[in-house]
Amino acid sequence: MPAQTKSAAKLQGAWWKYTAGLLMAYVIYGAFAIAHGAIGFAEKGVAARVIFFHVPCAVLSSVAYFAGMCYAVRYLYSSHRKSLKDDWYSAAAMELGFLFCILCTLTGSIFAGIQWGSFWNWDPRETSIVIMLLLYASYLLLRTGLSRSPEKKARLSAVYTIVALVPAQFLIWVVPRILATMHPTTTLTDPRMTSITYKMVLYPSFAAFTLLFIWLMQLRVRSLRILALRKERALRRISEKY
């Protein structure tokens, strides 16, 4: 097996997929049955339950970018012959980042509508996630525009991923810290911020979403590989014909 696929293929077999399914079922059950309504939140604290879905999506939308960027760097700077597999992993991570960004925006907007009375409040974190969404959309758009040669597409989209890391870094680390935000900033870092019932659901929720992310990434890479093979076969057939 090529070295570049080893890290992503470490999770082999079906056990971790069953674990992901069980954990996700537990999180959905726990969000409504284990965690109690939180103090200070609308609808007798019910609105706070969104944390189990919104926060992992927000974290994964950033993690996906870093994963995409790492594979992009690996593609560009691999000393041996460049492998398109790195590009597929990078593209899959970016596509999933886009998906998790949409989920994060939707869950956040529903929460904002219930808690703050408006579905959009121009909070710095709200703005950040929408710009992140735009960055992912630009990446996907660039790939569409570069569809002629797979190597060129891989090379140029890898460059874009790395250059767009600068605004992504500012969005994740700088903007929410230099502008006043309505979002709590210590939910994950300060253990006193969440009760034990919340911790019992929130931490498994991170594990469930992360496993789901890896699973989806593997599926997407497999589909990209099939698409590339089909294209290659079609080209070979045309060249044999003429």
Partner 1 sequence: MNSMPWHKQAAALWKKDIRAEMRTRVATGSMGVFALSALLLIALSMLSVKGVEYRDALGRLKPAWDDAGKMALLWTLLCFAAFTGLAHPFVHEEESGTSLALRLYMSAEAVYAGKLLFNLTTLAAMMLVITPAYMLLTGMNTGRLILFFPIMIGGCFGLGSVATVVAALAAKAKSSGALFGAIGLPILVVFLILLMQAAHLCYAGNATPISIVKDVGGLVSFGVMIVALSAMLFHFIWDD
- The residues of the shown chain that bind partner 1, judged by CB under 8 A, are 76, 127, 131, 134-135, 137-139, 141-142, 145-148, 152, 155-156, 158-160, 162-167, 170-171, 174-175, 178-179
Count CA atoms within 13 Å of residue 134 on its CB side. Answer: 9
Q: Which is nearer to partner 1, 81 or 148 (CB)?
A: 148
* Cα dihedral 155/160/165/171 (nearest 10): -150
Residue 134 or 229: the one with the smaller Cβ distance to partner 1 is 134
d(CA 136, CA 159): 14
Residues 6+ apart with CB under 8 A from 70: none
Least separation in angstroms between CB 18 and partner 1: 39
Query: Closest distance between partner 1 and the C-beta of residue 160, in Å?
Result: 6
Smaller CB separation from partner 1, 154 or 221: 154
Query: Rounded to the nearest whole angstrom, what is the least distance from the CB of residue 131 to partner 1 in the complex?
Result: 5
Question: CA–CA separation, 172 vs 186, rounded Å?
Answer: 15
CB of 170 or CB of 215, closer to partner 1: 170
Residue 150, SS3 per DSSP: helix
Q: Please report how close the Cβ of residue 82 comes to partner 1 at its closest, in angstroms.
A: 11
Take residue 204 and report the two structure tokens written for it: 């498994």
